[in-house]
């Protein structure tokens, strides 16, 4: 049975909705619940809601301090640990069941905030509400569940974007001031070269004049020009591109496959894996800019994998890079809520990003690589922001992942 015959409305909520029968078995869930729990509706229907909402041992110890599991956090052996854990969990299960039956008896909803629940595939930090309801001759529970850290993620995303905008404006101001003198330096060096070409052999007409080797002078002037060009390129990266995006419908796998052709020959030591959802719809994007984004992320990952100290790695370690594409439902980017977004993940099995660096990783001139400039990820964030998307990073040893979220359609208000 579909709750209140309004499943189409419930599908559009950004919180998870679970419809539970009188016997506490799950009857129906919306797509946001599937996304939150990382499991399909087919697997959820028929399960007991108690199994899903059961607290983890962290919650059990806090709620039942008198149980052996709470009193002894370091059991003597594995059998004792199993018995103590089982006792705490059984007490927690009975308490949860009582809450449901009391809600039915008194038709009184209840809400649980900041709970660590067992989940299906992994523990989750959530808030949830339980509302008892009579539907015709039958009784049901309507459960609304949402991720506990959702608001903190949105706040963090907004704060990082504001910090990025401020630092970006500062760097633009500095870059403009530096770029003009560079042009003058380059012009002077070119004039020097022209002078030496017209007078290949400079004579010594005065006693105190030092002879100048025209070939060396040309070499030095060429160095000035090349270094000026390098700094100018760096400045242009700081300033960003003035080219307007060329919006078009893009199959997200096309730019990914394009950069993989380049990467596979450049980094033959790295094993490339694809974990694609080939049924993804097209997105409105600038294809060349997406290529720049993915190339930057994949290059960074491969270089980080190959820069690692092999002495600290396992003997059978092999550097691996995985590209992931998925559809995410009911996802919020900034203040905009989207029914669907596309997620592109770039995952590697390296040693990870240092904790003190990860919060600043998207700031210009911040890098954890020996040969990095710290401009690549700042540029990536700029392009993704232009596409009204978001980028996140999570990292621990053996699993570093950059996730890009792109809406299917954008407002086209974002210029360069």
Q: Which of 94, 127, 148 is the last residue of a domain?
A: 148
Q: Are residues 169 and 290 in the same domain?
A: no
> Does any domain span residue 412?
no
Contact 128, 1 (CB under 8 A): no
> Does any domain span residue 415?
no
At 340 the pLDDT is: 87
Q: Which of 148, 163, 179 is the last residue of a domain?
A: 148
Task: Report, as an integer, the average pLDDT of 151-179.
Answer: 61
> Does any domain span residue 129?
yes
Q: Are residues 209 and 323 in the same domain?
A: no
> Does any domain span residue 62?
yes
At 320 the pLDDT is: 93
Q: Which of 201, 216, 239 is the last residue of a domain?
A: 239
Structure tokens at 320: 């691996």
Q: Are residues 101 and 159 in the same domain?
A: no
Q: How confident is the model at residue 69 (pLDDT cuts 50, 70, 90)?
A: very low
Q: Are residues 33 and 134 in the same domain?
A: yes
Task: Give the residue carrying structure tokens 């996802």.
Answer: 331
Q: Are residues 120 and 53 in the same domain?
A: yes
Provide the CATH number for the domain around residue 166. 1.10.287
- Mean pLDDT, the chain, integer: 76
Q: Are residues 262 and 225 in the same domain?
A: no
Contacts for 291-296: CB closer than 8 Å, 24+ residues apart: 291/255, 291/258, 291/259, 292/379, 292/380, 292/383, 293/380, 293/383, 293/384, 293/404, 294/255, 294/256, 294/259, 294/344, 294/346, 295/259, 295/262, 295/263, 296/376, 296/377, 296/379, 296/380
Nearest to 355 by CA among 311, 298, 321, 397: 397
Res. 11: pLDDT tops 90: no
Residue spans of alpha helices (H) in 199-250: 214-239
At 378 the pLDDT is: 76
Q: Are residues 233 and 255 in the same domain?
A: no
**For 197-211, what is each residue's pLDDT tens digit?**
665 555 445 544 444
Instruction: Name every residue whose Cβ is closer than 8 Å to that of residue 225 and which is 6 or more positions away in sequence.
Output: 186, 189, 190
At 65 the pLDDT is: 44
Q: Are residues 401 and 252 in the same domain?
A: yes
At 82 the pLDDT is: 40
Q: Are residues 282 and 350 in the same domain?
A: yes
Beta strand 16-21 with 26-29 is: antiparallel
Q: Are residues 144 and 166 in the same domain?
A: no
Q: How confident is the model at residue 343 (pLDDT cuts 50, 70, 90)?
A: very high
Contact 356, 366 (CB under 8 A): no
Task: Specify the length of the chain in residues.
Answer: 416
> Does any domain span residue 167?
yes
Task: Report, as an integer, the average pLDDT of 159-165.
Answer: 63
**For 23-64, what is each residue's pLDDT tens digit?**
999 999 998 888 888 888 899 999 999 999 988 754 444 444
* Residue 333 CA to its chain's centroid (Å): 12
At 91 the pLDDT is: 84
Task: Report, as an integer, the average pLDDT of 270-276.
Answer: 94
**For 210-239, what is each residue's pLDDT tens digit?**
445 677 777 777 777 777 776 776 666 555
> Does any domain span residue 299?
yes
Provide the CATH number for the domain around residue 79. 3.30.450.20
Q: Are residues 224 and 325 in the same domain?
A: no
Give the range of the structural domain holding residue 185, as residue numbers without chain letter: 152-239
Q: Are residues 282 and 364 in the same domain?
A: yes
Provide the CATH number for the domain around residue 305. 3.30.565.10
**Lowest-confidence range among 58-72, 115-129, 176-190?**
58-72
> Does any domain span residue 80?
yes
> Does any domain span residue 413?
no
Res. 68: pLDDT tops 50: no
Counting the structural domains of the chain, the total is 3
């Amino acid at each position: 049975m579909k709750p209140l015959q309004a499943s189409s409305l419930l599908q559009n909520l950004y919180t998870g909705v679970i419809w539970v029968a009188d016997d506490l078995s799950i009857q129906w869930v919306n797509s946001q619940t599937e996304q939150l729990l990382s499991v399909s509706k087919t697997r959820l229907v028929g399960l007991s809601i108690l199994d899903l909402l059961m607290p983890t041992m962290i919650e059990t110890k806090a709620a039942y301090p008198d149980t052996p599991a709470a009193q002894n956090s370091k059991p003597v052996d594995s059998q004792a640990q199993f018995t103590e854990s089982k006792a705490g969990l059984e007490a927690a299960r009975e308490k949860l069941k009582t809450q449901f039956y009391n809600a039915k008896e008194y038709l009184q909803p209840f809400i649980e905030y900041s709970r660590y629940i067992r989940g299906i595939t992994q523990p989750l930090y959530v808030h949830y509400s339980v509302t008892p309801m009579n539907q015709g001759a039958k009784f049901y529970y309507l459960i609304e569940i949402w991720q506990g850290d959702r608001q903190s993620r949105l706040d963090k995303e907004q704060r990082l974007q504001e910090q990025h905008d401020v630092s970006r404006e500062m760097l633009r101001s500095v870059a403009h001031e530096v770029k003009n003198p560079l042009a003058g330096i380059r012009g002077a060096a070119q004039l020097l070269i022209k002078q030496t070409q017209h007078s290949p052999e400079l004579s010594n007409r005065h006693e105190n004049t030092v002879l100048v080797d025209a070939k060396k002078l040309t070499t030095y002037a060429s160095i000035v020009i090349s270094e000026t060009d390098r700094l100018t390129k760096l400045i242009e990266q700081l300033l960003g591109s003035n080219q307007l995006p060329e919006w078009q419908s893009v199959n997200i796998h096309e730019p990914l496959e394009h950069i993989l052709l380049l990467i596979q020959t450049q980094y033959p030591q790295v094993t490339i894996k694809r974990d694609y959802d080939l049924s993804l719809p097209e997105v409105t994007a600038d294809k060349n800019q997406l290529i720049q984004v993915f190339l930057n992320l994949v290059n960074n990952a491969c270089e980080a994998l190959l820069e690692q100290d092999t002495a600290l790695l396992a003997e059978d370690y092999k550097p691996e890079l995985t590209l992931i594409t998925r559809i995410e439902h009911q996802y919020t980017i900034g203040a905009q809520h989207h029914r669907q977004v596309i997620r592109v993940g770039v995952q590697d099995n390296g040693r990870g990003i240092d904790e003190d660096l990860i919060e600043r990783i998207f700031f210009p001139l911040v890098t954890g690589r020996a040969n990095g400039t710290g401009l690549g990820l700042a540029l990536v964030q700029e392009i993704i922001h232009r596409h009204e998307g978001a980028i996140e990073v999570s990292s621990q040893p053996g699993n570093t992942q950059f996730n890009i979220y792109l809406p299917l359609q954008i407002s086209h208000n974002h210029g360069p």
